[in-house]
Amino acid sequence: MSYPNNCKYTLLVTSLPAHKTVLFDEQQMPLSRIQLNKRLKLLEKSDAADLLKIEQLLHWSQMKEDINQAFVNETIASINSINNEFIKDIIIWRLELRIILAALRMRHQGQQTAPTKKIFGFDYWYFMITKNWHEPDLGLRKQLPWIVEANELLISNNNLQLEKFLFGVVWNHYRQLSLGHYFNFEAVIIYVLRWDIVNRWTSYDKEIALQRFNDLINIELQDKVIW
């Protein structure tokens, strides 16, 4: 049986068990990936292709430790191949978050001056970072309220809590974006991205996470990351 798109997506969204408001209230997966994929078969081919692209870029397991111009160029190329502006905005937001975190980590490693090379396409963040390199919040607390706590956790080397905090930052951003999107493709995008965070959270291995963060802190970031 075929359905109009609006009916198909209403059917799809209503078939998905709701996520909890607070990430850390999630104790188990709302449904398996196999079950999720079965429901996603209702997507139009073009929407399914765009969803695959955003998953490949933003699923937690796909996140690379370092950021350089080549990585950004690759990401921007993927963004330009996507037709959905909602998806593009989400990818850019996550990339910006990672750029800011990379700057905080470089400074925490002891770099005394801001990087002289910039990642093209993100001039505003480069300007703010270089202008406010010695400010704890890089002059960004108004635009990015989360940066204060993230920096404090980084300084205290509380790596497990920092990763948990970042889970929450991304989760809350997705929850905010979901407002006004209930039975459309955008609602499906948000659901799948939040599903990924729940998957990471519920399978969280503290020892592995600690080792991963320790390895990250010990990387010579000036060789791996532009900023």
**SS3 state of residue 37:** helix
Question: What's the pTM?
Answer: 0.81
pLDDT bin (cut points 50, 70, 90) of residue 227 is: very low
Summarised one tens digit per residue, pLDDT across range 175-191 is 999 988 989 999 999 99
What DSSP assignment string belongs to 170-226?
Answer: HHHHHHHHHTT-SSSHHHHHHHHHHHHHHHHHHT--HHHHHHHHHHHHHS-HHHH--
d(CA 136, CA 138) in angstroms, rounded, equals 6
DSSP annotation of 24 reads G
Which tops the pLDDT comparison, 172 or 56?
172
Measured over the CA atoms of residue 66, residue 68, residue 72 and residue 74, the dihedral's sign is: negative
